[in-house]
Amino acid sequence: MPIKGYIEYKRREFCKDVHCPVQVNLDVETEGSPIYENIRNTCKTGCIYSTYQFHHWLMEKGYLIVRPEQGG
């Protein structure tokens, strides 16, 4: 659920911005095809970027990571 006045992260925005070579390969294949899904498995199980890099990219781009308060 978006927060009014903010935009949500778009799928693979980081990957495209950093010119991830795996994303480049995905972009030339048809989404859902066997080749596409095989390449996509690299993203699922062996991403070449770290969560540290992704988190800092989010901060550099002005993204906020939020969650609702618990309880109350």
Q: Could you read off the pLDDT of 40-53 as tens digits, one per residue?
A: 999 999 999 999 99
**pLDDT at residue 71 in the model:** 60
E strand spans, the chain: none
**pLDDT at residue 22 in the model:** 96
Give the tokens for residue 33: 């095809």
Give dist(CA 18, CA 38) in Å, integer. Answer: 21
Q: Could you read off the pLDDT of 4-44 as tens digits, one per residue?
A: 899 999 999 999 999 999 999 999 999 999 999 999 999 99
**pLDDT at residue 65 in the model:** 87
Q: Beta-carbon neighbour count of residue 26 at 10 Å?
A: 20
**pLDDT at residue 40 in the model:** 94
In Å, what is the CA distance from 10 to each residue of 19, 43, 58, 61? 15, 16, 12, 13
Q: Beta-carbon neighbour count of residue 59 at 10 Å?
A: 11
